[in-house]
């Protein structure tokens, strides 16, 4: 997924908050939802965007779908940003 899409994904505060939650531990959608005043479909939409940009991964565990941070993409992103923010 492109750097641009990733930046756009990160530009939304809801999505950043989801990532911060997942930083602590993997969570099912309903558990994530408890932290937001938003319908499940809306949340699902954000999760989908995060998934499209590989910032998170998901896997089914019984009835639940567990979301996890994808740390490798974070590392990749950190590199690109470091380069971008380099001094003149």
Interface residue with a second copy, options 37, 41, 62, 85 (CB under 8 A): 85
Q: CB under 5 to 8 A by kind: which of a second copy, DNA, none does 24 bind? A: a second copy
Q: How far is CA 25 from CA 1, 3, 70, 76, in A?
A: 24, 25, 12, 21
Quick one: what does residue 52 bind among a second copy, DNA, none, with the CB cut-off 5 to 8 Å set by partner type?
A: none
Closest CA to 74 of 14, 20, 13, 12: 20
Q: Catalog residues that contact DNA under the rule CB under 7 A.
A: 8, 11-12, 14, 28-31, 33, 37-49, 58, 60, 62-65
């Amino acid at each position: 997924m492109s750097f641009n899409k990733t930046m756009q994904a990160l530009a939304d505060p809801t999505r950043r908050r989801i990532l911060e939650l997942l930083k602590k531990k993997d969570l099912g959608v309903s558990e994530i939802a408890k932290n937001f005043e938003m319908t499940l479909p809306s949340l699902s939409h954000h999760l989908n965007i995060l998934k499209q940009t590989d910032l998170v991964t998901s896997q089914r565990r019984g009835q639940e779908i567990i979301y996890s941070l994808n740390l490798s993409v974070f590392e990749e992103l950190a590199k690109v940003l470091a380069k971008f923010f380099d001094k003149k």
